[in-house]
A and B are shown apart, each in its own frame.
Chain A
Amino acid sequence: MNRRRLALVAGLLALAVGVAVAASPGLLGLAVDRALVTALGVVTLLVAVRQVAARRGVDTEAAVTPTPEHRVPTPPPGEDLRDSLGGFLSSGRLPYNQAVRGLRAAAVEVLAQYEGLSETEAERRVEAGTWTDDGYAAAYLGGEAAPDPPSPGILRRAVAGGVPKHRKVRHTVSAIAERAGLEPRSEGDTAGPPEEPPESFSDSPFSVTRERATRTADGEGAATQGGDDPPRGAEDDGAGTVTVARAARATNRWQGVGAVAFVGIAAGVLASEPAALLAGAAGIGFAAYARATPLEPGVSDSDDGTAAEGLSVDRSLDPAEPDPGVAVAVTVAVTNERDRPVPDLRVVDGVPEALSVAEGSPRHGTALQAGECATFEYEVRATRGRHTFGPAAVIAKDLSGGVEETRLVGPETTMACRPTLRATTEPVPLRQRAARFAGRVETDTAGAGLEFYATREYRPGDALSRVDWNRRARTGELSTVEFRSEQAATVMVVVDARPQSYAAPAPDTPHALDRGVEAAGRLYGSLTATGNQVGVAAFPSVTGWLAPGAGEEHERRVRELLTTHPDLSPAPGEDPMTVAAGRSRLRRRLSAGTQVLFVSPLCDGRGADLARWLDEYGYPVTVLSPDPTADRTAGHRLARVARGLRLRELRGRGVPVIDWAADESVDAALARSNRREGP
């Protein structure tokens, strides 16, 4: 600042003397030397170089906008290969350098389960390398006696020192998957990997709204996300809250524009050409523009406030309470309520975490006159659950773009999308078990019912309407018709809401929890329609519990629970409870003889453990398992193998498992299961 003032004073002095000399020649008896002029030119050029170099030193970082267009990523199981490897050793994740150990365990288990080999025999085959035709895989897992791997070729051996490890791992995983009977899916081309948060995400002032998306545990809260300025607190101005995310600051984008002037002047002086000299004027003009822009937001405007302050954002949804799958039009209106224009306004709306933009863009750039209002529109596809639109991020700049301020403006808008409890087209396969009320479960005992079961000899006391009169007329014998006894079941639909359920095979497909909750609603509809008492619970949750019941009021409460309960939120949240605590809670609340319909993707061993455990405690369990696995990477494939083993093991213990593929409806999955288990 001091040097700037010095330059200003000296410049004005030189200007005055220069004008004086121009007005009356001879005032200064100075013989101007050619060398002096050249020296001036060179010095000016040096100043220009310094100006350019100075640009490196300043902070030219602009505000980073969030990416609300896409849902919070819910990667399929096995996104990290180390997790998949650990799944076979029950040791959590396994380091990559112990891949052989994990893959061996996987190969042995697959051979034991799918080929019926004993554990020692399976181990012997893996050791000897005779379990697969794949040479790389056999050699990678095999011991001394295993066959040599195929020669990698001279060039590869010389350049890369043999076959890279990741290729061996990929071969081995493919071989294991083949042994487990998994057909490779041809989805590699159509579906990309799940979206990664942008790299600069953690620096963004908006990480507040999406920080759970990145799943970073850096512990940086909202207060420290604003960079150099913490949020100044919220102020209510009717249209919702306004939070300063990044205070008004210089963007420094014009830094070094003076170099243009100096280069022009230097060139003009050195070449003695007025045209080149005047080219330098462009630099002076724009340097003045950058410094003296009339519309500066935020700079010492205490009475008027900053440009972003007078802005309000309004949002409307159409329809406000949509059914799942319906396109919802979101209209955002930005109003400049000040008496001065905002020349540069950039708005990014706060799309809910669990929704994706279907059409249009939630971003808008405009310039607003005083009192003017701009609207823009985009569409989101509604999915089940309660979604909250956060405040919009508003970036306001001055005319030259030299000052920039970011605020979070506007109301929060909530959209509730309730699932339909439409009954499934297929009957829900429950376990056979006697209960107290008439209902859906078909028993193998004769009694009151609708379906013919058998005839037996007439016993005194049998109702006359049950006597088989045709037979009496034919043969003269008295016999009684018996019907298949149908009994009601008390069913608890337990939805696995642990973080593992937030998994989807591709970025734009619903994750396993959303599918599970949707299915829970439909199972409820179907089971209550056939006279059963049905309850709904989230596992492992403290409050997500609705005791078995039926009727309109109960149905309404089920719908509400499935829509709004935080533990069934469509976006991943915090781990609500440990599995052990949830398990004992579940056992305390389940009354004896209650059937459990456990809806879980079975992405880890604990889901399967819970199903087995409940079954052993005398609650007949049926598992409906939405399949979230993908087939793009070795990790995905290995996780798929592990899930297949879990399903197999559960079925082996007598727990029926309905495997529900990602691309089919729950009706199709039930139909397939009914055909298999059917009469």
Chain B
Amino acid sequence: MTTDGAPTEAVTDASESPAATVDRRPSRTGAVLALLPALVAALAGGLYTWPGLLAGVAGFLGLVTGLARGSRTAVTLGAAGLFGGAVLAGTEGAPVGPVLVGAVAAVVAWDTATTAVSVGEQLGRAAETRRLEVTHALASAGVGAVTVGLSYGVYLAGAGGRPVAALLLLLVAAVLLALALD
């Protein structure tokens, strides 16, 4: 048994039979649901600055690739690109509203896209999964909307001559709280 380490596969013809396997690529519904927020994210940041547009488009393409091939890594990198685009637009002076919406949309796109990948892996493309994915995407979008609303409210309330030290302390608080949550 130990002497026959030879490649027996090499002797067999390596022709694939698509009929014999389940199509485990991400579901179509999930892909469409993920591309909507991805488009929003790419546009929200990209309309204001060139670097933002560049990062946004690259991120969008990454997400599309990930959805086509069922790769979580590509989806995550793509979503990171979308988010990076929004942040870049923010650092170059884009208005608060679109940047906030773009960043949140990037996270929603990631959530929906990875769910589509997971549904593809566990159930495959042939299964009926619309209700599951729409539920998930709606919940994610709801969380995003609440986040945008609250953040924008805080921004409006905080605008105006507050001392920088207070802002700094609040930031430290935000970082520590986020650490505690994660």
Contacts and interface: CB of A to CB of B under 8 A. Distances in A.
Instruction: Name which of A4, A191, A365 has the most chain B CB atoms within 10 A of its CB.
Output: A365
A75 to B, nearest CB: 11
Contacts of A344: 132, 135-136
A361 interface: yes
Nearest to B145: A285
Nearest to A96: B6
A395 interface: yes
Nearest to B149: A285
A257 B108 CA distance: 12
Interface string A484-521: 00000000000000000000000110000000000000
A10 B103 CA distance: 27
Contacts of A255: 182
A289 interface: yes
Interface string B140-182: 1001101100111011001000111111111111111111111
B8 A7 contact: no
A22 B94 contact: no
Q: How large is the interface on A (under 10, 10 to 19, 20 to 34, 35 or more residues)?
A: 35 or more
A348 B123 contact: yes
Secondary structure dominating the interface of B: helix
Contact of B11 (A5, A166, A195, A264): A166
A67 B125 CA distance: 13
Contact of A365 (B133, B139, B140, B180): B133
Given A97-B3, A363-B123, A365-B127, A193 B178 contact: no
A271 B126 CA distance: 48
Contact of B94 (A28, A82, A275, A366): A275
Given A96-B4, A274-B96, A267 B87 contact: yes
B63 interface: no
Contacts of A278: 90, 96, 99-100, 103, 151-152, 155
A366 B29 CA distance: 13
B81 to A, nearest CB: 12
A258 B90 contact: no
B169 A276 contact: no
Given A278-B96, A367-B135, A260 B11 contact: no
Interface in A84-106: 95-97
A343 B8 contact: no
B8 A81 contact: yes
A343 B170 contact: no
Contacts of A69: 22
A153 to B, nearest CB: 20
B10 A291 contact: no
A376 B128 contact: yes
A14 interface: yes
A33 to B, nearest CB: 10
A454 interface: no
Nearest to A67: B22
B139 to A, nearest CB: 5
A275 B96 contact: yes
Interface stretch (A307-315, A541-549, A627-635): A627-635
B91 interface: yes
Interface residues of B, number: 87
Given A18-B170, A346-B122, A261 B178 contact: yes
A32 B165 contact: yes
Instruction: Name which of A164, A276, A399 has the most chain B CB atoms within 10 A of its CB.
Output: A276
Nearest to B10: A166
A267 B52 CA distance: 14
A80 B8 CA distance: 7
A253 interface: yes
A377 to B, nearest CB: 10
Contact of A279 (B100, B122, B175): B100
Nearest to B142: A289
B128 A285 contact: no
Given A17-B169, A194-B20, A282 B103 contact: yes
B20 A363 contact: no
Contacts of B89: 275
A81 B94 CA distance: 67
Nearest to B136: A344
Nearest to B155: A278
A279 B98 CA distance: 10
B70 to A, nearest CB: 13
A287 interface: yes
A279 B99 contact: yes
Contact of B124 (A15, A361, A395): A361
Instruction: Name which of B8, B89, B178 has the most chain A CB atoms within 10 A of its CB.
Output: B178
A188 B13 contact: yes
Contacts of B19: 192, 507-508
A192 B17 contact: yes
Nearest to A43: B175
B6 A276 contact: no
A386 to B, nearest CB: 25
A508 B166 CA distance: 72
A367 B86 contact: no
Contacts of B96: 274-275, 278
Contacts of B20: 70, 192, 194-195, 507
A264 B121 CA distance: 32
Contacts of B171: 40, 265, 269, 277
A11 B127 CA distance: 46
A365 B137 CA distance: 14
B51 to A, nearest CB: 12
A273 interface: yes
A80 B179 CA distance: 55
A364 B122 CA distance: 10
A361 B126 contact: yes
A434 interface: no
Contact of B180 (A4, A264, A289): A4
A508 B92 CA distance: 61
The 8 A-B residue pairs with the shortest CB-CB distance, nearest first, are: A192-B17, A285-B147, A11-B176, A276-B90, A18-B169, A365-B129, A258-B182, A95-B4
Interface of A: 4-5, 7-8, 10-15, 17-19, 21-22, 25, 28, 30, 32, 36-37, 40, 44, 47, 51, 62-65, 67, 69-70, 80-82, 95-97, 164-166, 169-170, 188-189, 191-195, 253, 255-258, 260-265, 267-271, 273-289, 291, 343-346, 348, 360-361, 363-367, 374, 376, 395, 399-401, 507-508, 632-635
Interface of B: 3-4, 6-8, 10-13, 15-22, 83-84, 86-87, 89-96, 99-100, 102-104, 106-107, 111, 114-115, 118-119, 121-124, 126-129, 131-133, 135-136, 139-140, 143-144, 146-147, 150-152, 154-155, 158, 162-182
Given A4-B180, A18-B167, A635-B12, 19 more contacts: A14-B172, A18-B168, A18-B173, A64-B122, A192-B19, A195-B20, A253-B114, A262-B175, A265-B174, A265-B175, A269-B171, A276-B87, A276-B90, A279-B100, A281-B147, A281-B154, A282-B144, A365-B129, A401-B136
6 contacts: A22-B167, A62-B118, A62-B121, A193-B12, A264-B87, A281-B150
